[in-house]
Amino acid sequence: MLGGASQGLGKNNKWSLFTSSLSFALLVVAVILGDSRPAYTLPLPRVQAIPAFARKYGLPCSACHEAWPKLNNFGQTFKDNGYQLGNDRDAPIWQQPTYWPIALRITPHWHRENTDHMGVYDPVTDSIVSRSVTTHGFDLTGMDMLTAGTLSKNISFLLVPSSDNTGAFHFESVNVRFSNLLNTSWLNVKVGKFELDNMVSEKRIMTLSANGGMFQLYHFLPAGDYQTSGDPRFVGFGLGDNQLGVEVSGHSRNDYTRYSVALLSSNDGNVNLPTGRGYDTYLTFSQAFNAGSLGLQRVGAYTYIGQAPTNFPLDSNLNFIPGAGTGNEKFYRVGFFGLWYIKKLDFTTMFMHGSESAYLYSGTPSGQTLPFGAQDPKWNGGWIETHYTLNPQFILIQRYELIRMSQQGNTGNPSNLGDMDALTFGYRYYPFMTSRAGFAFHNEYSRVRQRGTGVLPGQDLTTNSVFAGLDFIF
Amino acid sequence: MKTKVPSKRLLCLSALAILALPSLGSAQESHIGKLTGHADSGKQLYRRFCIGCHGPRGDGQGENAPYVTPQPRNFVAATFKCRSTVTGTLPTDEDLFNAITRGFNTTNMPSWAPLTEQQRADLVAYVKTFSERWKNEKPGTPIEVPAETPVTLESINHGKELFQKLECWKCHGPEGRGDGPAASTLTDSNDQPIRPYNFSAGTRFKCGTTNQDLYKIFITGVDGTPMPSFADVIKPNEAWDLVHYLRTLQVSRKGPESDLLKAHGGAAKAADKSGK
């Protein structure tokens, strides 16, 4: 047996050498191919992987994560059970007094962005011209401070203060969950700020670059939408944004069948009720089934029905009164998804149909006459994401997103205005796998093209990102 | 110096290797109902889920072992607590499958039920590769669990008598609180301190939750611990009496045994032979 183990270690060394070489080669290829464009703010490390749990239970990261931060079914079940394994070792009383359920994550990295058809001021002609702009350099992501665990049996919490890369903090997640109410796994209640119950979690996204670090579809708003104008009275909406509210959820004992219903404040997760006093609803359902040696497959559906104010009362100083907005207008997202496993290969498929009121699109107060040609914008989108998990320490990632407008917000717009294509690929290599900390070499390339949104009419806006980072959490 | 291998010898060696393959293959498999687990697949799963505690060699010396109480199972020793087979024998594949599925309450070993049945079967196959015992021995024959006898006051009272007669109280305490006079001196086969089960806490048994599981514990014993097998000491109906009495010690648990006892005054009656 010992001989066999030694052989195994020898193979590991060869494997490490191979993957290190592959990492370097892929990085070089990514840099060479990275004909990229400008960088806006890099996304925060949105993902959650909590080695505090690994330390608590003595399990390696790979027990809960397909490749962290992506959860596997064991990790999803643990989460759905209120961060409990159910072996009577969950409550804090079982922990050493020195145990502190905190994990920190940040990713120093090098990145390169390039944008075509970007509006740039030309002092010679004193006008805005279309240019290709490139930036690159060493940088930091923001930091997540993840604290989570059980307060008592069946009462758990999650607190995630997050900073951007300048150190400015906000609360990404703050919630308390009451699990297994009435002694059944079908009734759990969570209150606070939390990620929507998306089985395709953006908080656990496997890609990190400026383009690829988010699901474009989750945050898509039509080109020309007034909600993207910067007017503070309009906060927009992203299905990937954490929201404030209460969620009722449940699942079968093996977590194959899941549902959730959430009532959310219509402020896209922003504190201090910046806009109105309406409420949104989010519903999800999914069902997993066992496909024998292929693995566990899951299909599901979701719908978000939201509203946002369009009338904004003013105080005596003619300032907008936050939270007092009225004249709510509707928007919704609806779709379905699948998580498909063929042994080491897995696919995530996602479809979404989105729509919003013409009043929101045009920023017109409800009840007033809409601008000429204004109508409810509608769009369809989806993606396919592929992972090849060679082993718990190496994963290849690819995603292709596609969004198509089916109805523009204004009849005068070109029919394809705002249509988007996004391609992302990369890999993560975890040189060690322990229950104390996590570390990954992360290399990625991403390209996004949006139709007709360049600075000049008819030009597409194309951005490219290259990202090479050291992703660590402890 | 080069040695030329005659082609006939090479041919014979190849033939022998091919003939040996089926026997190697059977040692690398598990069979649970209609499922066949494969050690090759199990190796990857073991690396993902189990290696932190049980270690790369399966000897229970994973990186977390120093911080885990009780210590992770040593698969090289191939001594397993929860079996359907008689004491001292190897468990069946199904026993191991059930252990992985159920987990071990009050230990760091969680339930791995979220894994698919095929994955658990693969893990069983791989766990069996760690010990030579699986190559040299066959699993023991599962014991027969006869139909449970009716829960009666007589059965409970007789169970209490057996509890005293068999000196269960020495470890588990007179009221089953795990505080018997010998409790603090007990060690497992690795010389690690071990606590006897505290019935009053009402936690799940490590080897299952049903009366049948409790019955099996008496008859098979819990190998690697001081809990012996009583297969040669008590008869099946006596084992059921003991089960019925022990259920009444789980004071926080509702069940027919406790209900019956409450209806008759709340305490089992047996001649006190403990000397207390």
Q: What is the ipTM of this complex?
A: 0.79
Least Cα distance to A51 among A147, A140, A143 occurs for A147
Residue A365: pLDDT above 80? yes
Residues 6+ apart with CB under 8 A from B240: B146, B148, B149, B155, B211, B215
Domain end marker among B101, B136, B171: B136
Is residue A325 less than 8 Å (CB to CB) from chain B? no
Place of tokens 């643990």: A78
Least Cα distance to B63 among A60, A104, A97, A52 occurs for A60
Of B51, B58, B110, the CB nearest to A85: B110
Distance in angstroms (rounded) separating the CA atoms of residues A93 and A151: 9
Cα of A61 to nearest chain B Cα, Å = 8
| Domain co-membership, B89 together with B166 | no
| Domain co-membership, B199 together with B232 | yes
pLDDT attached to residue B110? 92
Of A87, A89, A295, the CB nearest to B116: A295
The C-alpha angle with vertex A237 and arms to A234 and A242, in degrees rounded to 5, equals: 120
The C-alpha angle with vertex B177 and arms to B172 and B182, in degrees rounded to 5, equals: 35
Domains within chain A, CATH numbers bracketed: 34-473 (2.40.160.10)
**Inter-chain residue contact B68 with A58, CB threshold 8 Å:** yes
Residue B46 CA, chain-centre distance (Å), reads 20
Cα of B113 to nearest chain A Cα, Å = 7
Q: Please, what are the averages of pLDDT over each run of 10 residues along chain B (276 residues)?
A: 51 50 58 94 93 94 87 93 93 96 90 93 96 92 93 93 93 92 90 89 84 92 92 91 92 83 74 44
Least Cα distance to A31 among A425, A462, A443, A470 occurs for A443
| Domain co-membership, B132 together with B157 | no
| Domain co-membership, B120 together with B194 | no
Residue B26 CA, chain-centre distance (Å), reads 23
Higher-confidence position of A141 and B21: A141
Angle between helices B117-127 and B93-102 (to 10 degrees): 120
- Residues from chain A contacting residue B131 (CB–CB below 8 Å): 1
| Domain co-membership, B256 together with B168 | yes
- Residues from chain A contacting residue B110 (CB–CB below 8 Å): 57, 59, 85-87
| Domain co-membership, B119 together with B47 | yes
Residue A10: pLDDT above 50? no
**B273 occurs within a structural domain:** no
| Domain co-membership, B123 together with B159 | no
Of B48, B115, B131, the CB nearest to A62: B48
Digit-coded pLDDT (tens) for A143-194: 999 999 999 999 999 999 999 999 999 999 999 999 999 999 999 999 999 9
**Inter-chain residue contact A1 with B57, CB threshold 8 Å:** yes
**B13 occurs within a structural domain:** no
3-state secondary structure at position A239: coil
**Inter-chain residue contact A435 with B63, CB threshold 8 Å:** yes
Least Cα distance to A458 among A470, A450, A447 occurs for A450
**B195 occurs within a structural domain:** yes
Digit-coded pLDDT (tens) for A11-53: 444 544 454 555 445 444 444 343 333 333 334 444 466 777 8
Q: How many residues belong to chain A?
A: 474
| Domain co-membership, B50 together with B128 | yes
**Inter-chain residue contact A87 with B107, CB threshold 8 Å:** yes
Residue A131: pLDDT above 70? yes
**B112 occurs within a structural domain:** yes
Is residue A62 less than 8 Å (CB to CB) from chain B? yes
**Inter-chain residue contact A5 with B118, CB threshold 8 Å:** no
Beta-carbon-side half-sphere exposure of residue B80 (alpha carbons within 13 Å): 29
Cα of B130 to nearest chain A Cα, Å = 6
Higher-confidence position of B268 and A333: A333
| Domain co-membership, B125 together with B205 | no
Surface-to-core class of residue B266, CB atoms within 10 Å of its CB (0-12 exposed, 13-18 middle, 19+ buried): exposed
- Residues from chain B contacting residue A58 (CB–CB below 8 Å): 52-53, 62, 64, 67-68, 108
Question: What rounded mean pLDDT belongs to chain A?
Answer: 89
pLDDT attached to residue B253? 82
Domain end marker among B136, B171, B199: B136
Positive or negative, the CA dihedral A158, A163, A167, A168 is: negative
A vs B, Cβ pairs < 8 A, gives 92
Mean pLDDT within A299-322: 94
Distance in angstroms (rounded) separating the CA atoms of residues A103 and B144: 50
| Domain co-membership, B159 together with B257 | yes
Digit-coded pLDDT (tens) for B123-168: 999 999 999 999 999 999 999 999 999 999 999 999 999 999 999 9
Is residue A435 less than 8 Å (CB to CB) from chain B? yes
Question: Among all residues of chain B, which has the CA nearest to that of A96?
Answer: B67
Provide the CATH number for the domain around residue B215. 1.10.760.10
Show which of residues 294-323 on chain A sit within 8 Å of chain B, judged by CB atoms: 295-296
Distance in angstroms (rounded) separating the CA atoms of residues B149 and B135: 39
Question: Among all residues of chain A, which has the CA nearest to that of B202?
Answer: A88
Q: What is the DSSP letter of B159?
A: H
**B20 occurs within a structural domain:** no
Full domain range(s) for residue B158: 153-263
Domain count, chain B: 2
pLDDT attached to residue B10? 55
Of B53, B111, B118, the CB nearest to A293: B118
Q: Exposure string (b/e) for A199-237, b if CB count within 10 Å is 16 or more?
A: bbbbbbbbbbbbbbbbbbbbebbbbbbbbeeeeebbbbb
| Domain co-membership, B178 together with B258 | yes
Joined tokens for residue A8: 């195994």
Distance in angstroms (rounded) separating the CA atoms of residues A89 and B106: 6
**B146 occurs within a structural domain:** no
| Domain co-membership, B159 together with B131 | no
| CB B226 within 8 Å of CB B171 | yes
The partner residues of A108 in beta bridges, in order of sequence, read A140
Residue A269: pLDDT above 50? yes
Cα of A218 to nearest chain B Cα, Å = 28
Stretch among A119-133, A221-235, B146-160, B249-263 having the lowest mean pLDDT: B249-263
The partner residues of A173 in beta bridges, in order of sequence, read A160
**B69 occurs within a structural domain:** yes
**Inter-chain residue contact A255 with B107, CB threshold 8 Å:** no
Is residue B118 less than 8 Å (CB to CB) from chain A? yes
**B117 occurs within a structural domain:** yes
